[in-house]
Amino acid sequence: MTTRTDTSASPPIESRDDLLSVFSGGEKPREKWLIGTEHEKFVYRCADHRAPSWDEPGGIRDLLNGLTEFGWRPVEENGKIIALAGVDGTISLEPAGQFELSGAALRNLHETCAEAARHLAQCKAVGDRLGLGFLGLGMWPDKARADLPVMPKGRYKIMLDYMPKVGDLGLDMMLRTCTIQVNLDYASEADMVKKFRIGLALQPVATALFANSPLTEGKPNGFKSFRSHIWEDTDPDRTGMLPFVFEDGFGYGRYCDYALDVPMYFVFRDGKYIDAAGQSFRDFLNGELPALPGEKPRLNDFTDHLSTAFPEVRLKSFLEMRGADGGRWGRICALPALWVGLLYDDVALDAAWELVKGWSIGEREELRRAVPKLALEAPLPGGGTVLDLSRQVLDIAAAGLSRRAELNSAGDNEGGFLDPLHEVVASGMTPADRLLERFHGEWAGDVSNVYREMSF
């Protein structure tokens, strides 16, 4: 989740145009489009597989401090280190100590993969000294909520108190899941709309290809991506497939209206998070927010608020693709490769839209509900399965990456980063299927083997 690294004051919001400027300000010409990749992983004690707390010796605080030897700068909240900033972006903590790199905005996937490699090497170097390991999955395979610590970030206390009021699985989302995401640019409002629609419609394909959370508290949970299922019972006010994105006239203004109707969590003032859970940003605009009576918002308040909506695709000053489970090394590079191949090439963009433009709102919703349990076997509108669609999608993405012609020093384009996904399609086996095969086979039901086989 978003971590503030800039606590300076921002301009007051004086009109609706100020709100819309957050979105229009993200417009960039094609030659300036960049790629930002975020990936989370679970941290565990090698000795006993326990999730370490923030303040214990050799815990999360010491891990963060240890990484400063690589040039990362500490970010503190109330005198406690809760994140790091550096040339490779931001390292932050999810609520139970899941470790996230929000990578820098980079020109191509070769740079993205090199960044991920640096980050993982640094984590392992410090982790080896502290006796910590890192697990690449979409959900803790063996931990109950009660087994997990909570990090000392003010926004998390507010969210942990609020989540049980609006859904049954929100605490699992916060405490027990990990994801990979990619942030992509757009040239104009029309370009944003087309990419948003394709991203939403095909997000179930990404969920299926990256499905990697079939185990909960040591046994199969009945899903391939339980992480994805969790979002269906987290908070209906801020999650989902956003049917209005496919309506005529959708653009910045309609997304702005949606965001204003998402209940607030907090307001950040003077280094502290003020509880505004369930209150209205529209009231805030009118100076009528109960948490801050008489005060009106600044632009940073709106950008903070945008980070508290969790649809399958999210708009800020870029588009976030949010449907994939966490995974190991190759999948960190494969997720941005998939979406860059589809969305950063005009021919691929048009071909991807042709695949999904005829689906009704109901058909899209039905596919979204089916994929967490069935993954590649989920039925498509009009016949076939997600596996069939995935073959087409990967072909389009590979061709898009080839046309981008972003080469490394060996003359290779970016298409090789799709190899883990080609393997999934060729075998018909998602990461979740592989896990379940091991669990029922060579592991003989002993989930502790996951730490040996699925760590970075």
Predicted model pTM: 0.97
pLDDT tens digits, 184-232: 999 999 999 999 999 999 999 999 999 999 999 999 999 999 999 999 9
pLDDT tens digits, 136-179: 999 999 999 999 999 999 999 999 999 999 999 999 999 999 99
pLDDT tens digits, 338-392: 999 999 999 999 999 999 999 999 999 999 999 999 999 999 999 999 999 999 9
**Residue pair 75/84 in contact by the 8 Å Cβ criterion:** yes
Q: What is the pLDDT of residue 9?
A: 78
pLDDT tens digits, 399-435: 999 999 999 999 999 999 999 999 999 999 999 999 9
Q: Strand, helix or coil at 430? A: coil
pLDDT above 70 as % of the chain: 98
Q: Is residue 340 part of a domain?
A: yes
H/E element, 16 = helix 16-24
Q: Is residue 375 part of a domain?
A: yes
Categorize the per-residue pLDDT at 111 as very low, low, confident or very high, splitting at 50, 70 and 90.
very high
Is the pLDDT at 5 greater than 90? The verdict is no
Is the pLDDT at 2 greater than 90? The verdict is no
**Residue pair 235/163 in contact by the 8 Å Cβ criterion:** yes
Is the pLDDT at 4 greater than 70? The verdict is no
Q: Is residue 293 part of a domain?
A: no
Q: What is the pLDDT of residue 104?
A: 98
Q: Output the average pLDDT for the chain.
A: 97
Q: Is residue 190 part of a domain?
A: yes
* CA quadruple 241, 244, 249, 255: dihedral sign: negative
Q: Is residue 334 part of a domain?
A: yes
74: left (phi over 0), alpha (psi -120 to 50) or beta: beta
- Provide the residue type at 405 as one letter: A
Q: Strand, helix or coil at 41? A: strand
The domain total for the chain is 1
- Where in the sequence is the domain holding 130, given as residue range(s)? 16-262+309-453
Q: Is residue 2 part of a domain?
A: no
Q: Is residue 110 part of a domain?
A: yes
Residue 29: CB atoms within 10 A of its CB come to 9
Q: Is residue 124 part of a domain?
A: yes
Average pLDDT (81-97) is: 98
Average pLDDT (302-320) is: 98
- CATH number for position 225: 3.30.590.20
CA distance 341 to 205: 14
